[in-house]
Amino acid sequence: MSIKLEQIDPCRWRIPRQGGMRTEGLVFASAGMIDQLRREQALEQVCNVACLPGIVGPAMAMPDIHWGYGFPIGGVAAFDAEEGVVSPGGVGYDINCGVRLLRSDLEAAAIEPTLARLADTLFQNIPSGVGSQRHDLKLSIAEEKKVLSRGAGWAVEQGFGTRADLDHTEAFGCIAGADPEAVSARALERGRAQLGTLGSGNHFIEVQKVEQLFDQQAAETLGLFPGQVTVSIHTGSRGLGYQVCDDSLKAMLKAARRYGIELPDRQLCCAPLTSREAKDYLAAMACAANFAFANRQLITSWVRETFETVLGKKSADLRLSVIYDVCHNIAKWEEHEREGRKRRLCVHRKGATRAFPPGHPETPAAYRGIGQPVLIPGDMGRYSYVLVGTAGALAETFGSTCHGAGRVLSRHAAKKAARGRDIIAELARQGIMVRAAGRATVAEEIPAAYKDVSEVVDVVEQAGIGKIVARLKPLAVIKG
């Protein structure tokens, strides 16, 4: 399929309606990014999403766009509550893969002598890698279902954190409408031993320092200062979320045929939002999202314990507090104003982040003057960014922006590029310690596998769908 693109401005590109598209496509990207995208299938996926029934506004792609299952990763689309659909391909397999950022009162120079021990102890205390499990957290099926219903709140009830953690988590760490009875026995089985684990792939725990501030007022509100130690936690719903997605695809293919929905791609199988199939999927998806919130909450608790043990300080002295926790892969019911009226929409964000503006009621009260924090991880060799949401994002992208750097090399290509190299040693020479369950994951995640995230957030800021606050530099990285 030959994709026609029209440049709107330096960071926006329109895909006019063509073929079965019900609406246009809108891509946020620089000219250089577009040159790369023309050689890939992700733009065709934007067109395919625009073919789905009940879509409201354009099918969108953020500057970290790359090919994904069904929707492109970096894809955003909203669907009308009465006429639209929900598609598991618009959420993905790693439901509520997301990022949580912790701040501290520590300065990077002060922890340098103990950084290696800190990295080793984090790696020991938090299981990582394919199929990683905890053996000290035994959940019955009944207790696991409570996790799925309550999310991060369950973990806080068990003593893993405080109410303040929930106040700084998207949706307070619990997506409404979760029904554990909608989750298969196989999904429950896969998730039960994986709560509190990092997993593999692009998931990580990263000890960082604040390298540069771009907005002093916003940084002060978020509690950030130059040279400060921060910790990022990037993981999701593990095997449970994967199984929820896998289970739903079979049902959604049948549903699409039953309701006469013409699919440009089988991976976009979907069901009307008013249907039983859609309601079942959203109930199971919410369970997986809540599992992910609880997962990051537990890991937060063990990160705090690790810092206390290694540094010999009490938690109150370290002040390792949550700045924010944000979803990357989710479909959420939201109310947005379109064409002069408020509409109830199911907003799909797949490899995209919510970015609500100052004053929005769903922005935490402490941040209502600056906007919702937006956490954008880069690769393990360069930097990550903290942004805040904007009014422009709410008006144009349903309050959405990018979620990371975006891959430019497949995992296979990355391994090929890393062949014969000692990536861990290379990063060590840059002052970045890496602890990983296996060298294969490190090879898949080499910095060259990703776009330079600074170019991604520059597009976001230029487009007005996010505002840069700070850049964070990795000091120690824990990988699966």
Residues tagged active-site: 403
- Give the up-direction half-sphere exposure of residue 425: CA atoms within 13 A in the CB hemisphere: 4
Q: Collapsing DSSP states into helix, strand and coil, what is residue 99? A: strand
Query: What is the DSSP code (8-state) at residue 236?
Result: -
Encoded tokens for 18: 């063509």
The two beta strands, 467-479 and 204-213, are antiparallel
**Cβ atoms of residues 370 and 221 within 8 Å:** yes
The whole-angstrom distance between residue 148's C-alpha and the CA centroid of its chain comes to 19
Encoded tokens for 269: 């199988």
Rounded CA-CA distance 128/234 in Å is: 12
Rounded CA-CA distance 248/276 in Å is: 12
Within 8 A by CB and 6+ apart from 420, the residues are: none
The residues with which 330 forms a beta bridge, in sequence order, are 349
CA dist 102 to 52, 149, 180, 181, Å?
39, 25, 30, 34
Rounded CA-CA distance 288/328 in Å is: 13
Encoded tokens for 240: 């449970």
- Give the up-direction half-sphere exposure of residue 154: CA atoms within 13 A in the CB hemisphere: 24
CA angle at residue 328 from 323 to 333, to 5 degrees? 100
Amino acid at 274: T
Query: Which H helix or E strand runs over 296?
Result: helix 276-311
**Cβ atoms of residues 75 and 66 within 8 Å:** no
CA angle at residue 243 from 238 to 249, to 5 degrees? 135
Query: Which H helix or E strand runs over 335?
Result: strand 329-338
